[in-house]
Amino acid sequence: MLADGFTWDLGSDLHQLFQFHFMVNAYRAGTVVAVVAGLIGWFLVLRRQSFVGHTLAIIAFPGASGAVLIGISAAWGYFGFCVAGALVIGAVRRGRPGEFSEESAVVGTVQAFALACGFLFVTLYHGLLEDVNTLLFGSFLGITDAQVRTLLAVGLGALVALAVIARPLRFASIDPDVAAARGVPVRAVSTVFLVVVALAVAETSQITGALLVFSLLVVPPATAQAITARPVLSAALAVALALLATWVGLAISYFTDYPSGFTITTLAFAAYLLVHGARWMATGRHRLRLAR
């Protein structure tokens, strides 16, 4: 790549890292996406709705490739298809949050078709083969100032919407029956949340690619929720872990040429393994003590 190489002088490394504008923009975009994904993902994991996040990400792929095909920005495809997908899921869904078992075949069918459509659009585009990789596995190259501004504006909008519904959403996630009895509009709150998730997925897809959205949307929140049950603290931890994975992942990718999708995901995964390993050891010791 363009770097002189990694040295043990952190000052010089940081200077190298930010000497090009594309890298500054990569960090700006990555920071926005990490905060958005960490907070919205925290609720997604609380609600056991990761599967919905995955479905929306798969829907994002034909959206983005279709947008490129007709000559508009991939970002519009991401946002448009994700939000439309969220509204459709919100409309057809029955039962409680997280209960998707009877619909999994339907969702699987839609996912397969969405991927196939995306593949068709990419093929019709006759573009560079790299484009498929970018859409599926992400890239931090060539993010424009305008893209960063869009990410920031949409991200802020999604977070404001989340902040408004946060408490009733949490109530409805943990205890839908009591929340409904207390007058929480459970269905409306769930649908608004799906749209918020769609925005987060669309944003995250633009950094990690459609297939790796979980690396920021699910893995850091799941890790944080395993560390502590304190709600505010674990949400803050989710954001911190997502930021750390993004920042360090981008740096490693810059200096080594490994793709950023891989480095970010691997860092998030390492934190997850570390925390669950520590927990497993702790409970193992506890069980041993009880057994004695």
DSSP 8-state class, residue 218: T
Sequence-ordered list of residues with C-beta below 8 angstroms from that of 15, at least 6 positions apart, any chain: none
164 binds other proteins (CB under 8 A): yes
Q: Cα-atom radius of gyration of the chain, to the nearest Å?
A: 20
3-class secondary structure, 18: coil
234 binds other proteins (CB under 8 A): yes
- Residue of 6, 20, 119, 171 interacting with other proteins (CB under 8 A): 171
Q: Give residues 98-127 in contact with other proteins (rule: CB under 8 A).
A: none
183 binds other proteins (CB under 8 A): yes
- Residue of 21, 175, 277, 281 interacting with other proteins (CB under 8 A): 175
Report in angstroms how near the CB of residue 258 gets to other proteins at its nearest: 32
167 binds other proteins (CB under 8 A): yes
Stretch that binds other proteins, among 9-17, 210-218, 231-239, 256-264 (CB under 8 A): 231-239
The amino acid sitting at 274 is L
Measured between alpha carbons, how far is 71 from 212 in angstroms, rounded to an integer? 25
283 binds other proteins (CB under 8 A): yes
Name the helix (H) or strand (E) containing 250.
Answer: helix 231-256
Measured between alpha carbons, how far is 267 from 240 in angstroms, rounded to an integer? 13
Separate counts of helices (H) and strands (E) for the chain: 13, 0
Q: Give residues 47-66 in contact with other proteins (rule: CB under 8 A).
A: 48
Report in angstroms how near the CB of residue 180 gets to other proteins at its nearest: 7
3-class secondary structure, 45: helix
- Residue of 166, 194, 213, 252 interacting with other proteins (CB under 8 A): 166
- Residue of 17, 36, 37, 46 interacting with other proteins (CB under 8 A): 46
240 binds other proteins (CB under 8 A): no
Report in angstroms how near the CB of residue 173 gets to other proteins at its nearest: 9
Of 225 and 263, nearer to other proteins (C-beta) is: 225
Largest Cα separation within the chain, whole Å, is: 69
Measured between alpha carbons, how far is 43 from 209 in angstroms, rounded to an integer? 21
Tokens read off for 116:
């196939």
Of 179 and 251, nearer to other proteins (C-beta) is: 179
The amino acid sitting at 48 is R
- Residue of 104, 123, 228, 256 interacting with other proteins (CB under 8 A): 228
Task: Find out whether 183 and 4 touch, Cβ atoms under 8 Å.
Answer: no
226 binds other proteins (CB under 8 A): yes
- Residue of 14, 106, 141, 178 interacting with other proteins (CB under 8 A): 178
Measured between alpha carbons, how far is 206 from 60 in angstroms, rounded to an integer? 10
DSSP 8-state class, residue 48: T
The amino acid sitting at 251 is A
* Residue located via tokens 């699910």: 218
170 binds other proteins (CB under 8 A): yes
Stretch that binds other proteins, among 30-38, 170-178, 205-213, 254-262 (CB under 8 A): 170-178
Of 15 and 286, nearer to other proteins (C-beta) is: 286
Task: Find out whether 214 and 262 touch, Cβ atoms under 8 Å.
Answer: no
Site residues (vs other proteins, CB under 8 A): 46, 48, 163-168, 170-171, 174-175, 177-184, 225-226, 228-232, 234, 279, 282-283, 286
